[in-house]
Each structure stands twice: as C-alpha cells, then as structure tokens.
Amino acid sequence: MRDETSPAVGKGAGAWLQFALPVAVAALFLLAWDAAVRATHSEIFPRPIDVARGIGELIQKGLLLKYIVASLFRVTWGFGLAVLVGVPFGLFLGWFGRAYQAFNPMIQIFRPISPIAWIPVAILWFGITDLAPIFLIFLASVFPIAVSATAAVQNMQPVYLRAAQNFGLSRGELFRRVIFPSCLPQIITGLRIALGIAWLVVVAAEMIAVNSGLGYLIIDARNAGKRYDLVVAGMVMIGLIGLVLDLLVRRLETFDEVRWGYANRR
Amino acid sequence: MSLRNTLVISAAAWTIAITALHAKLNPDSIRGLEELVSGALGKRDAAKEKFKIGFLPVTCHLTCPVTDFINQQITGHGAFEPLRFNSWPELKEAYLAGHTPATFILAPMAIALREQGVPIKIVYLGHRDGTAVMVHKDSAIYKMEDLRGRRVAVPNRYSNQRLLIFRALKQAGMTVHDIDLVEMPPPDMPAALYSKSVDAICSGEPFMGQTELDGYGRVLWLTKDVWPNFISCALAVREDVIKNRRADVQALVDGIAKSGLWLDKSMDHRMSAAKFVSKNYYMQDPRLLSFVLSKPPDRVKYTKLTPLRKDFEEIEALGRESGILKGTAHFEDYVDPSFADSATDRVEAWNFEGAKP
C-alpha cells in the first residue's frame, strides 16, 4: 500500500516528491485560508498565524502536552478495550453462523448511535471521571472492529479450511494457525478505521466535565470569549495527531503476516 | 520481530507510558478515577468527602469560583470542590446522577425538576441581573417592537432568559408568536450574532458583553431595565444532603454570601475577581470579565441573594404561561430559605484584599 511513484519519475525525484507534494498542498491550503480570512475581514475566524500563536501560548502555559496526553490516554484505553472485546467477539460471530444471526441485528442497532447520545448514560454510570469519555470512545470503536473481524472470517477462502482439515489440525490449531492469520489483514484494516473513529470522537467524549484534553480545549475555548484561535488550534492538533496515528497503524501493514493480504494490490 | 510480539510489547509499553504520563500531568483526572473505584468497592465515606458543586463559566455563577479561591487563599485549602461544566445538560445530568450534591442551576430548571420528582431545593441565589439582550450594531432594532418577525436566541427552554423574553414581549404588547425564538448554547451566540444568523441574543454574561467589547454587538436592553433584580441562576442542593449535612450546606451558603458581599463592596474587589477567576477558573481573557463587572457596575449584582417568595411566584407564573412548568410545585416545595435567613443575620464580606503573590 506504499505510495508508488509513477514510472516516468526517477527514484531520487520520487522520494523527494513524496515529501514535497503533501507539503505543497498543505502550504497552498494555509495560503488560501489566510487569503479567505483577510478577504472577508472576519473578526471571528482566526488566520493561520493567530492559530500558530495560540498553539505557542498553549505550549508556554504547559497546557498543550497536558491536553495531548489526556486525550491520548482516553483514546488508548477506550480503543484498547474495544480491540480486546471487539476482535474476539467478531471472530466468534464470524465463525458461528447462529451466533451471528442472533447478535448481528443488535450490533447494527447500536452501531449508528452517536457517542453524543450516550453522554447522559456515561455520566450516570461513570460520573465525571475519565471513565466516561473512555466508555464513549470504546462504544464508538468497538462496533467497527467487531464487524470487520466478523466479515474477515466470513470472507475467508474455503480452500484454507479444507487444506487445514486435510492436515488434521485440531480446533485450537486451526484457529491459531489458519483462521486468525488469514483474517489478520482485514482485521488490521478494521482497526485502522476504528482508530480513526476513536480519535474522531475525542471532542464529543470530552464534552463531559473533564478538565483536560484536546476536545476539552475546543469546548473550553468556545466558552472563553473570542478565542477561536484556540478552537482551531485544537482542531489542528487533533488533525496532526490523527495523521501520526494513521502512519503508525499503516506500519503494521508492512509486516509479512499482513502484507500477503494486499499482495494482489502491489 | 514478529507482528504479534511487536504489537503486544509496543501496545503494553505505550499504555503504561501514557497512563503514567497522564497521572503525572493530570492528577485531578486520576483522583476522580480513584474515587469512583473506591466508591464501587464500598470504601467511600460520602459524608466526609468535599462537596462537589457544579457550575458554568458565566457571571451568574461567579460567586462559586470566588468563594473557592478566597477560601483557598485564607485557609490554604478549599472547603468544597467546584466542578466546571461546559453546558447545561451535562451539569444537570451530573446532579441527577448524584455526582454533584450541589449545583448552580437555572431557577426554572430547578422548579421543573422538582415538578418531575427530583429531590432538589434552592437554598440561595447566584446573582441578581446580569443578562442582556444584544443586537447587531448595524441593525435597525432599537426597541422590543422592532424584533417582530426576527430570530431571537435564548440559552435553554428552562432558562429564565426565555421567560425574560416572554415578559418583555408582554410589556411591548406582543406574544412569542411575533418572533422566532430559538435555543442556542450561549458560547455560540456571539458568533451567531456576528454572522447575523440571529437578530438578537439573550443570555447571561459574559457572552453578551463580549459582542460589545468586540465591537459588533449593541445592548438592546439590560435586565435591570425590564425586569429589575432578575434571577437566572440559583444554588440548589439535594434534599438528602440538606438533611444529613446541614453544617456543610450552611458553610457553603455563608461562603457564597460572603463572596457576594465582597464582590459588591468595591470595584477593586471586582477587578481582582475578574483577574483570578479568568486565570484560574474560566480560562478567559480577564478584560472580558472586567468589562461585564464594571460597565455599568450594576449590570450584575451579588447582594440580596435570599430567595424570596414573590420573585419565584413570578417565575412560576411566567413558566406556566410559556408552557415549561405545570404549576404543581410551589415555593415551599423547591426552596429552603433557612440557610439564607441564617446567613443574612451573621455574614459579612470576606476580609480579603487581593491574592497572595
């Protein structure tokens, strides 16, 4: 899945472009943003330089690291628990058709409910502690993970199973050596999407009265008079960290255990 | 290294590292978790815990952070724990779930909760006045009648600001059907007025003052011009807490009363409060609080905070008229004036002149 440059471009130039193209697009975006704010004489919407200053102010006050850590902590636990629950449950549903028939409608009912709608429940159960946002992040990410794991088992090539049966593998071995590895690429793709969602809901999850986090920064800045520079600063930080998270998950796809699943796309 | 080992080791290392870092940088968060766990294990002694009090970063609740700050400066520790929320629904839900035994809350919302069977009692008021109706400075709206057919934003169905609009309409010989009334969280109101997506906004300060300070808002009227001694928010406490922790509730009301008197004693006190509250509790530019606390000085007041029957009966009547109250709860059901009465006779302003360096 690595971005391959077109054959017309040389190797050295390709590596350079791989870096330069996204930077150029980002720079163009910043210029357009700045021009738009100046053209409309907006007193509310900040210019990129204001946002940079806002980020500087957060760093100076020692808040930026504090907020990033708080958000990452909540997403780590929410997403981590979702993986621990979602993957085994999804595999189980994929393997046992009856269980799938029984549980799938419930999953599809819960899946589209926005974490915002769960806020009252989260407050009721977990109070105004970190557990409430962790619960919301868990809810948002567990369903996509379970669904992708289920689909991975259901889409497994029957030839693997038949071959395994010919070798006389026991149930445990069958799962460990055939089912799980063959599903892994699709599970990893599901995790990548779910991690994006987990990070996406951090703003909603931190609407509860926690007093730290990037989502909190955005909500707090809206309360703080005309500090839309900090609102956008929160958005920028969430976006940048989202980019890093995605790059990290994509590293997983370079492992042999996963890469074979994308072989036909190379 | 194989995928599995890499994953397990890096995930474990990351989780431990981020948790440790979070515990170090955000100790409050972790303390909340500890409380929840010890509560679940039944090891928690609620009667000895500090009172948690819900509040929002608005001037209607200003006495809450002021009392906490002065308490901390004088005694070195706070007598209760102010818990800042960002919007009404979460504040209310935390109260209903029992996480905040006391909270600053919209007066009509407290009455409505009482009607719905919630054990809530108002023990003191948060403020008097402190609400404005703002229009865009370029608009041709100069009196209530000019709002005919226009869109007016209020904070919440259960806000007294909505009732205030009802009352002002009535005074101008109009009804709510003559305007387009919408609900909007106060923090979003300034931007909505700026972009002219609403014609008038009405909420507690400092959101109204902000539009004036930033140069696009104009005061249509202040509450003191339409409904003098207007109340939007009150301090409410759960009934079981009133019964079991009378001394703590009295100490809380005394503290709030002292802060109110202190705030209204001199402009220096107000400016000092603007600074320390903005910095430590609201995370706002202190200019904003300084502005709404001084221009004019009676924009919001913090004295005469004993809940009075006639004020609440007026709110009840308007609430019934506007359809948010059923009229099944009355003053003695939702107000316990004993703490306020006791405080009025004894309490004087804090003896506090500015923060220690």
For residues A52 and A123, membership in a common domain is answered with yes
Assess A126–B contact: CB distance below 8 Å, yes or no: yes
- The domain of A153 spans 43-265
- Which of A43, A61, A72, A73 to probe the B interface (max B CBs under 10 A)? A73
Q: Predicted ipTM? A: 0.80
Amino acid A90: pLDDT = 94
Overall number of domains in chain B: 3
Question: Is residue A5 pLDDT above 70, yes or no?
Answer: no
Q: How do residues B140-170 score in pLDDT, each as one tens digit? A: 899 899 999 999 999 888 888 999 998 899 9
Find chain A residues with C-beta within 8 A of B10's C-beta. Answer: none
For residues B222 and B236, membership in a common domain is answered with no
Contact between chains at A44 and B28 (C-beta distance less than 8 A): no
Amino acid A6: pLDDT = 47
Going by DSSP bridges, is the β-strand pair B233-238/B102-106 parallel, antiparallel, or unpaired?
antiparallel
Amino acid A71: pLDDT = 93
Question: Is residue A247 pLDDT above 80, yes or no?
Answer: yes
Q: How do residues B246-259 score in pLDDT, each as one tens digit? A: 888 898 898 888 88
Nearest CB partner across the interface for A69, out of B4, B21, B89: B21
Residue B6 tokens read as: 């890499």
For residues B66 and B185, membership in a common domain is answered with no
For residues A162 and A203, membership in a common domain is answered with yes
Q: How do residues B303-314 score in pLDDT, each as one tens digit? A: 888 899 999 998
For residues B144 and B288, membership in a common domain is answered with no
Q: How do residues B187-211 score in pLDDT, each as one tens digit? A: 889 889 998 899 999 998 888 998 9
Residue with token string 């009363």: B257
pLDDT-derived band at A11, boundaries 50, 70, 90 = low
Strand partners, B331: none
Find chain B residues with C-beta within 8 A of A130's C-beta. Answer: 29-30, 32-33
For residues B155 and B65, membership in a common domain is answered with no
Domain CATH number, residue B118 = 3.40.190.10
Find chain B residues with C-beta within 8 A of A224's C-beta. Answer: 57, 282-285
Q: How do residues A90-143 score in pLDDT, each as one tens digit? A: 999 998 989 999 999 999 999 999 888 998 888 888 887 888 999 999 999 999
Contact B281/B57 with Cβ under 8 angstroms? yes
For residues A72 and A250, the model is more confident at A72
Q: In chain A, positions 233-252, which contact chain B (CB-CB < 8 Å)? A: 252
Question: Is residue A29 pLDDT above 90, yes or no?
Answer: yes
Question: Is residue A264 pLDDT above 80, yes or no?
Answer: no
A160's CB contacts (< 8 A; 6+ apart) are: A178, A182
How many whole angstroms separate alpha carbon A91 and alpha carbon A169?
19
Number of H helices, E strands in chain B: 16, 12
For residues B219 and B237, membership in a common domain is answered with no
Assess A95–B contact: CB distance below 8 Å, yes or no: no
Assess A208–B contact: CB distance below 8 Å, yes or no: yes
Q: Where are the beta strands (DSSP E) in B180-280?
A: 180-183, 200-204, 217-222, 233-238
Contact between chains at B282 and A227 (C-beta distance less than 8 A): no
In angstroms, the Cα distances linking A261 to A28, A184, A188, A255 are: 36, 8, 10, 11
For the stretch B3-10, contacts whose Cβ atoms lie closer than 8 Å and that sit 24 or more positions apart, written own/partner, are B3/A184, B3/A252, B3/A255, B3/A256, B3/A257, B3/A258, B4/A257, B6/A255, B7/A252
A65's CB contacts (< 8 A; 6+ apart) are: A59, B25
Q: How do residues B75-127 score in pLDDT, each as one tens digit? A: 877 778 888 888 888 889 889 888 889 999 999 999 999 999 899 999 999 88
Q: How do residues A144-175 score in pLDDT, each as one tens digit? A: 999 999 999 998 888 887 887 788 777 778 88
Q: Express as a percent the part of chain A with pLDDT over 90.
A: 44
Q: Which of B193, B226, B259 is the last residue of a domain?
A: B226
Q: How high does pLDDT run on average in chain A?
A: 85
Residue B46 domain flag = no
Residue A106 tokens read as: 């419930």
Q: How do residues B25-68 score in pLDDT, each as one tens digit? A: 888 777 777 776 776 666 655 556 678 899 988 888 988 888 88
For residues A24 and A78, membership in a common domain is answered with no
For residues B27 and A7, the model is more confident at B27
Give the distance from residue A148's alpha carbon to the nearest chain B alpha carbon, in angstroms.
Answer: 19
**Burial grade of A3 (CB within 10 A; 0-12, 13-18, 19 or more):** exposed
Q: What is the mean pLDDT of residues B332-348?
A: 84
Q: What is the pTM of this model?
A: 0.80
How many whole angstroms separate alpha carbon B68 and alpha carbon B71?
5
Domain CATH number, residue A223 = 1.10.3720.10
How many whole angstroms separate alpha carbon B325 and alpha carbon B321?
8
Residue B351 domain flag = no
Give the distance from residue A258's alpha carbon to the nearest chain B alpha carbon, in angstroms.
Answer: 8
C-alpha B180: how far from its chain's center? Answer: 26
For residues A173 and A239, membership in a common domain is answered with yes
In angstroms, the Cα distances linking B275 to A262, B278, B288 are: 59, 5, 10
Give the distance from residue B284's alpha carbon to the nearest chain A alpha carbon, in angstroms.
Answer: 4
| Number of Cβ within a 10 Å radius of residue B243 | 10
Contact A152/A187 with Cβ under 8 angstroms? yes
How many whole angstroms separate alpha carbon B63 and alpha carbon B31?
25
Give the distance from residue A243's alpha carbon to the nearest chain B alpha carbon, in angstroms.
Answer: 18
How many whole angstroms separate alpha carbon A236 and alpha carbon A223?
19
How many whole angstroms separate alpha carbon B96 and alpha carbon B113?
9
- The domain of B22 spans 3-40
Contact A70/B26 with Cβ under 8 angstroms? yes
Give the distance from residue B131's alpha carbon to the nearest chain A alpha carbon, in angstroms.
Answer: 16
For residues A122 and A214, membership in a common domain is answered with yes
Overall number of domains in chain A: 2
- For B181, list phi and psi in degrees, rounded to 5: -90, 125
A237's CB contacts (< 8 A; 6+ apart) are: A55, A64, A67, A68, A214, A217
For residues A257 and A188, membership in a common domain is answered with yes
For residues A251 and A175, membership in a common domain is answered with yes
Assess A255–B contact: CB distance below 8 Å, yes or no: yes
For residues A70 and A201, membership in a common domain is answered with yes
How many whole angstroms separate alpha carbon B195 and alpha carbon A48?
20
For residues A37 and A89, membership in a common domain is answered with no
Contact between chains at A70 and B85 (C-beta distance less than 8 A): no
For residues A188 and A247, membership in a common domain is answered with yes
Residue B45 domain flag = no
- DSSP H stretches of helix in chain A: 11-40, 48-60, 63-95, 97-110, 119-126, 131-154, 158-166, 171-173, 180-200, 202-205, 214-223, 228-252, 256-259
For residues B328 and B241, membership in a common domain is answered with yes
Find chain A residues with C-beta within 8 A of B27's C-beta. Answer: none
